[in-house]
Structure 1
Amino acid sequence: MKVVAATLDDLLHEVFRRLLATGRPVVASRGPNLEKTGALLELINPRARMSRTESRCLLFSALGELLWYLSGSNDLAFIKYYIPDYPEDGPGISTVRAAYGPRFEEKIDWVIDALRAKPNSRRIVIPIYEPIDCNLDHAEVPCTCTLQFLLHDDRLELLAHMRSNDAFKGLPGDIFSFTMIQELVGRALGVEIGRYKHFVGSLHLYDEDQQKARNFIDEGWQSKASMPLMPLGDQRPNLGQLLILEEGIRNGLNPETPTALPDYWKNLAYLLKIYRADRDKAPAQRVRTLRAKMSNLVFAPYIDKRQRSAEKRDAELPRPTPTQLFTNPTNE
C-alpha cells in the first residue's frame, strides 16, 4: 500500500478509505482491527502537518508530545498533562519505559553535526526501538524503529520506519512530531525540507475507531493550510526557550514570553498558554487575550474549539444578583 498526498488530511482520508475497504481483519492484544502491512505514506509538504478536521484537530496534544520528546523527559505526568489517557507501565510508576525523550537525547545535535561534516552520508539514523524492548512486558513499547535523515539537492528528507502504527490515534501525532524535527534539522543546516516518508510494518485501524474514521471521511475535503515557516538559521536556542516556557506553563507559573523570541516560537508559547487556560477552566476573556497576541491566523481553528468551550462555561455560570453586583465580599 502506497499513499502520496500533499497534506495530512489528504493522507489520512486515503489511509482510512483503504483500510476500511480492503484492510485485513486481525485480532491483536489491544483488540480487533483492520490491517495493511508494508505501507508507505509520503507527505509532499511536511509543513501541512496539522489536521483541519473537527475530529482530528489535535494540535495541542501533538505539540505537547513533541516537546516531551525534545525535552529528553520520560516523566509520565508530563505527557499525561497533554494526553490524559496515556498508558501507564504500572501502579506507582512515574516514568515511561518507552519514552522517546531519553532516546532522542543529544541525537538531534549529532544529526546536525554529522550532516554538516558529511552531507552525502546515508548513516544518519536515530534508532528508537531497542533490542531490550522485545523482551519487556510494558504497556507501551516504541512503535518507531528508526528515523533516517537524507540530504539530497539541498533538501532534507526524513524517512521514518514504524514497526506498528495506529492509523487513527497515533499516525497524526507521529507525522506532526517527526516533520517538526525534520524542519528543525533542516533550518540548522540551512536547507529546505523535502518530502517526508513514513514506512509502516503494520498499519491498522481498530474496530472501535472505524465509525470515527468514516465520520472523518464524511467531513469532506478541508481547506489547505500549512504551518508557517520556521525562522531561518539554527532554531535550537529558541526551542530551548520554548521548553523552559512549557515547563513553567505546565506547572502553573504563567511565565512571561520573552519579547526577543521570534513570532514563530511566541505563537507556540501562546498556544501552550491557551491550553493551560482551558485546563484551568479560565474565563473566555483569557483565551481571547492570548489569541490577540498571536501573529498567525493558521492556528485559529484549533483555538476556536477552546474558546467556544470557555464561552459555554461562562454562559453556564450563575448570574449575580443586583446586591452582588455592588458588593465586594473581600472588603467586608
Structure 2
Amino acid sequence: MMLTAPTYLSVEGAYVDLLRLACESPEHRIEARGNAAREVIGVAFQLPNPRQRLPYIAARKANPVFHFAEALWYLAGRRDLAMIGYYTPSMRSSSPDGVNLGGSAYGHALFNPAAGDTVSPFDRVLELLRTEADSKRGYLPVFSATELTSADNPDMACLAGLHLLVREGHLHMVCNMRANDLDCGLLSDVFSFTMIQEYAAVQLGLRLGHYTHTIGSAHVNECNVERVKRVLNEAELRRTRPQFPFPVMPQATGPDTIRRVLEHEELLRTNTARYSADEIRRLGFEVYWQQVLLLFEVYRQIQHDEADTVSRDVLDALLPNLRWLVGRKWASCAAAAEVSAR
C-alpha cells in the first residue's frame, strides 16, 4: 500500500507533531474573526489502528467523558444543547437560538434524512457499500454552502465530510476538515470520527481499516500557546509513555444500543439516577458500554454530589486507560492517578 500521509501508532503522536509544526514553524499568522492564530495549510496523517484514539499526556488533561458524550451525540443524530452543553458549557455560545447547535452538530447531518428523503445519508452509504463493495461514492458531506449565506454565522461546520471505502474486507475512512484547532478540536474530532468509522464497520460486518485525517487550515490559537508548550515539553522530556490498548466495539452494537445507553446517560445527567459499579454491571450492557456509563456516573458525581472525591468502586471499575485520564483531569478523581501505566 502506498502511503500519502505520515502514519502514527496513536492519535497522540499526530497531535504532538502537528502542535509542534504549527507553533514552531507556522506558515502564516492569521487573525480570522478576531482570533489570532498560527497556521499551516494542507496537512494530513493516518492511523492504521483508529481505536488508539486517546492521548495520554498529563499536561493536556484529555476528557474521556466529553469524548464519549460527543461521539454518542453524533451517533444519535442530535443537535440539542441540553445534552452536549452539560459536558461542555462553552458550546452554548455557538448556538444561534440557545436551544440547538448548527453546523457543528455533525451527527444531525449524517444520521437524519435529508429534506425529501426517508433514509439518513449514513444509512444510504451503508446500503451502497453492501451492494457495491469497491465503490468510491460512499461520501458523507457535512459542510453546506448555505452556511456561507450568513456573514455572522456563529456555528459553521469545520467538518467537510467523511469518506467510507471498503477494500479487501476492511472499512477505511478519510476525513476532510476545512479547518482544525489543533489544541482544542483535533482530539475530540478524531475520537468521534473514528468511533463513527468503527460503528459503520460493525454494521457492515467488516474489519476496521485505517483512518486518514486531512486538514485545510491547521492552527493553534495564540491564547492557547502556553498550554501547548507545556504539552510539547512533557512529550519531549518523558522517557516512557503510558501504553493502553483501547477496547473493541462489540459486534452487537447498533442503533438500539446507542438509544439505550443515552437513556441512562440522561438519567445520570439530570441526576435522576445514581449508579454503583455493580448496578451498572447489572444493566445488561456489554463491558465496552458499561465503561461509558461508569464515566457518566463519574461526571454525575463531580457535577451533582458534594463529596470531595468520586466513589472508589466506580473509579476501580474503569479500565486502566480511563482511570488514568480521569485521575489527571479532576482532583476529585485523584486516586485514579495512582494507577500505573501498563
In structure 2, the partner of 1:47 is: 51
In structure 1, the partner of 2:251 is: 232
Which residue identity lines up with residue 33 of structure 1 in the other structure?
A
Which residue identity lines up with residue 25 of structure 2 in the other structure?
T
> Contact 1:284 / 1:307 at 8 angstroms: preserved in 2?
no
> Contact 1:248 / 1:254 at 8 angstroms: preserved in 2?
yes
| Equivalent pairs, count | 311
Deviates more, 1:193-202 or 1:62-71: 62-71
> Contact 2:92 / 2:98 at 8 angstroms: preserved in 1?
no
Alignment partner of 1:300 out of 317, 320, 323: 323
The 1:293–1:133 alpha-carbon spacing in structure 2 relative to 1, beyond 3 Å, is same
Alignment partner of 2:32 out of 9, 28, 36: 28
Question: In the alignment, is residue 202 of structure 1 matched against residue 206 of structure 2?
Answer: no
Written as runs of structure 1 = structure 2, the 5 A alignment for 1:178-189 is 178-189=193-204
Aligned-pair identity in percent equals 25
Written as runs of structure 1 = structure 2, the 5 A alignment for 1:40-79 is 40-54=44-58, 55-79=60-84
Q: What is the Cα deviation at residue 78 of structure 1?
A: 1.8
> Which TM-score applies when normalising by structure 2?
0.84
> Contact 2:50 / 2:211 at 8 angstroms: preserved in 1?
yes
Question: In the alignment, is residue 103 of structure 1 matched against residue 109 of structure 2?
Answer: yes
Q: C-alpha deviations, 1:18-63, integer Å up to 9, x for none? A: 1122212122114111111111121222111011112142211211
> Contact 1:43 / 1:197 at 8 angstroms: preserved in 2?
yes
The 1:223–1:292 alpha-carbon spacing in structure 2 relative to 1, beyond 3 Å, is closer
> Contact 2:96 / 2:154 at 8 angstroms: preserved in 1?
no
Secondary structure of residue in 2 paired with 1:173: helix
The structure with the larger Rg is 1
The 1:117–1:90 alpha-carbon spacing in structure 2 relative to 1, beyond 3 Å, is closer
Q: C-alpha deviations, 1:284-309, integer Å up to 9, x for none? A: 56531222444x32211123246632
The 1:306–1:34 alpha-carbon spacing in structure 2 relative to 1, beyond 3 Å, is closer
The 1:56–1:117 alpha-carbon spacing in structure 2 relative to 1, beyond 3 Å, is farther
Written as runs of structure 1 = structure 2, the 5 A alignment for 1:280-291 is 280-283=304-307, 286-291=310-315
> Which TM-score applies when normalising by structure 1?
0.86
In structure 1, the partner of 2:147 is: 133
Q: CA RMSD in A?
A: 2.3
Which residue identity lines up with residue 300 of structure 1 in the other structure?
R
Question: Where in structure 1 are there 5+ consecutive unaligned residues?
Answer: 313-332
The 1:175–1:90 alpha-carbon spacing in structure 2 relative to 1, beyond 3 Å, is closer
The 1:281–1:33 alpha-carbon spacing in structure 2 relative to 1, beyond 3 Å, is same
Question: Where in structure 2 are there 5+ consecutive unaligned residues?
Answer: 112-119, 336-342
Q: C-alpha deviations, 1:113-152, integer Å up to 9, x for none? A: 3222221111111111112111122211000011000111
